[in-house]
Structure 1
């Protein structure tokens, strides 16, 4: 090997060595840089972990706050739902209250109209003085102040009222009775006395717009006087200067002795009622009559019930074998005996065959249904 080659080889080796050194230096620099980068990365990783921990804690707190907020929101929602339910109930109640108030207002308006009508009527009923003049009559009066029941008796029957209910019930339980009449006896049947009476009566009344009721008229008039009175009233109340108008009809109520006048126009009646008292020529002398509204009534509701007299017994099958007074005495004597199942007799009425009598029943003041008072 020549020196030149050796020198070249050595130069090449030195060059290679220099390159290796340079590479080592570069690698060392790179390693240092890598270490430095690694330290920075470690520091960054630590910061990241710290941030991650802080973020986790914050996220946990946020989750808790969110959960609490959701619970509070749910509670508020429930409260709002309850309040809404209460509001709806209150709204429903107020609607019902409004409906009830409207109905009450309507009823009050109706009552107010009726009261106003009654106020306009004033004492609309005609003045009528009543007095008890004596014994009861066989005819039923139309004008009564007390509740009465007229019981039509068939022939061959009797009504007997005992002082005690027990005696009446004993007689009814025995049903058939043998009653001695002189030298013989008769067989009677005892039955309860029943009535169909109204238990509820509702009436609608209203003032007739074209009619008036004239009262306070002269008493004890004959037929001719009544005819002249009607003519005089028609003439007086048909004149406009007297507040009247064209008369459509005029008639006298026989039960009360008052007169009803109907006009062709409605406003005439109102004007006459407002004046109330009118002085007219009746039977050749001045007489003050009273003019009030004429009230019509319609039955709105009628309910009836069966009432049984607790102290009165109906006796049937009584033959015509003796005088009326004798038979009544025999019946009273027999049924007031305790041995016959009876008791003290309060009242008795006998109706012989072929006769018609009306027994008047009135309310028993001792809380007993009805007692026959007369016939």
Structure 2
């Protein structure tokens, strides 16, 4: 045992002298050593190119100026955000790889998958929540229902024949559909897609009659007449769609957990670097052009500190855990 401990200490000292962590990654010794010269910050998104990319790119000039390096987006969609999360988990904790994701990754997946390849708390550091958002139940203009009461009646008259699309298994878009079925005592067919773009495309094309869509695309498509709003999955009406009642208002409770979008860094990233990145994005998200873009799409600007975001993640993890346990959903 003494020899093993001695060898372990020797290895740790050798790694430290070489500037390596136990995982073999370079350690960021201080905020002054960040950014690494000539190395951009790669932001991994768990969905195909979408309005999320646009939101981030509006902040890039400001963030780049603050941090002194370029930023790039790397879209890695699929598997309910797991592919993107695992990519970032395995990346060097040097501040140059970040995950920009939604509530699903850290607050829903852990309750849906028994063998998740990452731990939401051990493997990541919350950096900042940038956007507070929600989902809106939208339908094709020709769908034979215009509100929750009509939808429930139609679904009961056509048991097991009415479908709803989602961004993918285990996403908020999917979970809200499951809660709707249980709360309204109806049976729907779930059609999962590989991200929001494909789901919205098929909704507009009439392939699926309805989806729980994010406010950013739902608002745009409702105003353009490409889809119609059935109800908001929020605790109160959203300012940009003041005449659209919440689903709870229409008699189906429980679909009212506010969503968000935020940045995470791999575990082991220097806290000073995390704070510096957070500060740069907090400043960027509060620019008038960015704020207007986010609010016009029906979402709210946030811009939390790492500590505030950590508390939000933990709270939502507990709340979604209760919801998912009640539905009995498991995907493995």
Report the TM-score when normalising by structure 1. 0.17
Computing the radius of gyration from Cα coordinates, the structure with the larger value is 1
Report the TM-score when normalising by structure 2. 0.18
Question: Comparing both structures, which one devotes a greater share of its residues to strand?
Answer: 1
